[in-house]
Amino acid sequence: MAAGTPPLDTVANSMLTALQPFLPAGAGGLPTPSVIMVNLRERSVGIGRHVGTGSTAGFNVVPLKGIRLDGVARFQLWAAAPSDIDAAIAALNQRILAGRDTLFSKGFLKIDMKDAKPAQNIQDVGWRRSADYRVLFEFPYQDEEDSASLLAKIPIDINSAINESTLVTDHMARWDNLAAPKLAARGPFGVTSLATLSFIAGASPTGSVTLIRTFDGAMGDPTPCANMADFLSKVSGKNPVLKNASLTFASLSAFLTAMTPGGDLLTLGDWDQNNIPDQYQPLTLAIEPPIELTGVVDRFEIVYSIAAFDQTAVLYLRLGRSAFTG
């Protein structure tokens, strides 16, 4: 997916590139089959080109825009005999009909044959025939200016007269070199995954990261586990071995290494203020079976050892959830 508003020629070239595989192979001594746009105009899409919200590693906050083009694509085919050129046009139409799902996945909202021109005998070359298709094509992209940051928490004043408030986090937290608040989630629900988006400008922050599965009233400190596999094997499932356990990673880098890539890099703001858009790495960890938090007394927490990163960096954390089934 493109980042920043792409020029229209880039969009048109993307459309033609997607149509190229439907051309037949060239025959010896004849011109190469081709596809070109003979009519093209931009159509409006959404409000300000907004078409929706995409997802990266479970973070459903990537604003998507689109450019929509309406036009006519002309396929030009060659053959040595009139019957062969007619058969070639028929085969082309069959391939396009059979490939509608593939074309849709590449941005073609509509593609229909408009007409097929009569065959022409080009002296000393061969028989030429063209087929015109009406196409409606949408090219998705992400506008970097729309992505300064993600919304990790929403403070809400309940009653200003008595100074009450609450905080909505959606089981998500942001850590950076200003603050690194604990991500704390209470049941009932199942923790099905952990996802992160990380930007590290230079050296990695040095503090440790601790995962904790515990409950209110637990006696003593959580039982330490050796590694991620050990931790998940003891706290996951409907009848976990331990309900008060922890896993500590010596550094942020070690914590991130325990997960796997979750998609393409995401462009998001300019936290280090170097006038270069920051590139965030999405990472994920699937948890199967889930960590079942059976009630509001059960907690899952992710804790950074110090109040904020000691290096310029940003980390978003998010828990995937499933309903608790009992």
pLDDT by residue (tens digit) across 25-72?
A: 887 789 999 999 999 998 877 656 655 555 555 665 556 778 889 999
| 138 and 191 together in one domain | no
pLDDT at residue 236, rounded to an integer: 96
Residue bearing the bigger pLDDT, 127 or 156: 127
The pLDDT confidence band at residue 245, using thresholds 50, 70 and 90, is very high
Q: For 250, which DSSP code?
A: S
| 177 and 141 together in one domain | no
Domain that holds residue 197: 167-322
| pLDDT at 170 > cutoff 70 | no
Residue 195 lies in a domain: yes
The pLDDT confidence band at residue 164, using thresholds 50, 70 and 90, is very low
CB proximity list for 255: less than 8 A, separation 6 or greater: 209, 249
Residue 154 lies in a domain: no
What's the rounded Cα separation, in Å, for the pair 242 and 152? Answer: 30
Given the DSSP bridges, would you call strands 59-79 and 34-43 parallel, antiparallel or unpaired? antiparallel
| 127 and 251 together in one domain | no
| 219 and 182 together in one domain | yes
If you average pLDDT over residues 225-245, what whole number do you get? 95
pLDDT at residue 326, rounded to an integer: 58
If you average pLDDT over residues 167-188, what whole number do you get? 82
| pLDDT at 273 > cutoff 60 | yes
Residues 255 and 175 sit within 8 Å (Cβ to Cβ): no
| 98 and 174 together in one domain | no
Amino acid at 232: L
Structural domains in the chain (count): 2
Tell me: the pLDDT tens digits for 138-154?
888 766 555 455 544 43
The DSSP bridge partners found for residue 168 are: 154
Residue 311 lies in a domain: yes
b/e for 70-100, b at 16 or more Cβ within 10 A? ebebbbbbbbeeeebbbebbeebeeebeebe
What is the percentage of the chain residues whose pLDDT exceeds 90? 63
| 117 and 172 together in one domain | no
What's the rounded Cα separation, in Å, for the pair 318 and 320? Answer: 7
Q: What is the mean pLDDT of the chain?
A: 85
User: C-alpha distances in angstroms, 204 versus 103, 119, 228?
Assistant: 43, 66, 21
pLDDT at residue 155, rounded to an integer: 41
pLDDT at residue 36, rounded to an integer: 95
| 241 and 317 together in one domain | yes
The pLDDT confidence band at residue 260, using thresholds 50, 70 and 90, is very high
pLDDT at residue 114, rounded to an integer: 92
| 130 and 202 together in one domain | no
| 257 and 140 together in one domain | no
Lowest mean pLDDT across 35-49, 82-96, 221-235, 278-292: 35-49
| 123 and 46 together in one domain | yes
